[in-house]
Structure 1
Amino acid sequence: MSASTTEAAPARRSRVNTRARLVEAAADVFADKPFGAVTVDDLVGAAGFTRGAFYSNFSSVREVFVLAYAQQSVLMLDEVNRVVDDTPEGEFHLSSIDQLFAALEPLGPRWFRLHQEFTLLAVRDEEARSLFLAHVEEFEGRMQRLFERILGLLGREPISDIASLSEALMALYQHSLGTQQLGAGHLTPEVLVGDLLPQLLIALSRPRSA
């Protein structure tokens, strides 16, 4: 291995680490401030870097925002799948849904704020809309597979197409996060999980056919 190759490897790792830290820190910044009010200085200040580190890794605040949103979405899905994976075979029941949402509790409010910001940006900006819809399509695809998996563990299958079921349940979850953060309304995540969601899963599914 040449000296130049040996020197390049740590540099690449450093660059990857810098990008990762900037994106991770950005999630909290965008959760606390409207997208249009966030500056490069906000982002590098939160991550402990210089403006030079930012511009050597990213072209714009928008690029970091999109990456932060995508990362938070992946974290949410990975956390739910982890809980399902850790549940012993044959021991997943309706009451197990509480564990799924407990795992989401630290992530949900931040994801909700980023999702709302991205939604507003997409409504007003055609380029952002294209990016947003691509992310939504990927996210919804993974959500559909997750809901199919959960219903399968419960020995059930949807009575309508899984896409409609997944979208409806996600809409309720987003609404519950908004209710929680605004402090107004009845359908908080706790009410959704403890009362409504189990009933909906049963009402919108049937025992799996042999």
Structure 2
Amino acid sequence: MPKGPTKRRPETQARLQEAARQVFAEVGFHGATISDISERAGYTNGAFYSNYANKDELFLALVDANAERVREQLQQRIETLNASDLTLDRIAELFAMVQPEDQQWFLISTEFTLHAIRHPDVARRFAEHKANLRAELVTVMETAFARTGRAASVDLGDLVRLLIAIREGSLRQSFVEPDELPPGHLERAFWPLLFNAVTTPVEGAQA
């Protein structure tokens, strides 16, 4: 089992996570071995097991790191806009942006999702980590809507689940047919309509 914290632990974990991200993307979650990850990070297997119990635990740490990346990017994009520039169309555009690292993450997260579906205990833990991301997105979206002078008329948790489902399905098609469907196209086209349908003006708010 992982040992207690040390001064070097954050650096070690960061290197193991980056190595795992690379190896998972190259050979898949099941194809990657702990030796592969440790070697790529420049450590021994002992260093791996001092920080993570297994590949599942390491991947869940990657889920949390990716969630923080997504949250920070969205929050920074929204905070840089003046109130007059923040419209429902602009919110949809900001949420629809696709970064170069998103394709790599899509590859490894899709395979791990299938792994989790086949193993209920892993699925339970995976769901708990994904719920943290949804909670963060709910806060970001609520704040963004408020700045436009609108509020959600539906449960924001359910709305975020729907947006994630659209996003994942859209990216799946785009990565297979990039010339026919550029990444983010469906989101930019239809999310403004959805946002307008599920929000209402706040009385007294200045939009």
**Fold-level match, TM-score > 0.5?**
yes
Over the matched positions of the two proteins, sequence identity in percent amounts to 26
Separation (CA, whole Å) in 1 of partners of 2:152 and 2:160:
10
* TM-score for the superposition, normalised by structure 2: 0.83
Structure scoring higher RCO (CA < 8 A, sep ≥ 6) equals 2
2:96 aligned with 1:98: no
1:197 partner letter: W
Separation (CA, whole Å) in 2 of partners of 1:143 and 1:32:
29
Separation (CA, whole Å) in 2 of partners of 1:119 and 1:96:
28
Gap regions ≥5 residues in structure 1? 1-10
2:102 aligned with 1:108: yes
Q: What is the 5 A alignment of 1:23-172? A: 23-93=17-87, 94-95=89-90, 97-102=92-97, 104-172=98-166
Deviations 1:40-96 (A, max 9, x none): 122123323233322332222222112112211221112111212222344322235
Task: Give the direction of change, closer, same or farther, for the CA distance of 1:164–1:185 in structure 2 (3 Å limit).
Answer: farther
Gap regions ≥5 residues in structure 2? none
Separation (CA, whole Å) in 1 of partners of 2:166 and 2:19:
28
Q: Which residue of 2 aligns with 1:180?
A: 174
Task: Give the direction of change, closer, same or farther, for the CA distance of 1:114–1:77 in structure 2 (3 Å limit).
Answer: farther
Cα contact 1:90–1:153 (8 A) shared by 2: no
Cα contact 1:157–1:205 (8 A) shared by 2: yes
Deviations 1:118-164 (A, max 9, x none): 32122111220121121122121112122212211222122222122
Cα contact 1:108–1:177 (8 A) shared by 2: no
Aligned-residue Cα RMSD (Å) equals 2.4
Higher helix share: 1
Q: Which residue of 2 aligns with 1:4?
A: none
Separation (CA, whole Å) in 1 of partners of 2:39 and 2:26:
14
* TM-score for the superposition, normalised by structure 1: 0.82
Q: How many residues align?
A: 199
Q: Which residue of 1 aligns with 2:184?
A: 190
- Structure 2 counterpart of 1:16, from 5, 10, 20: 10
Separation (CA, whole Å) in 2 of partners of 1:193 and 1:123:
26
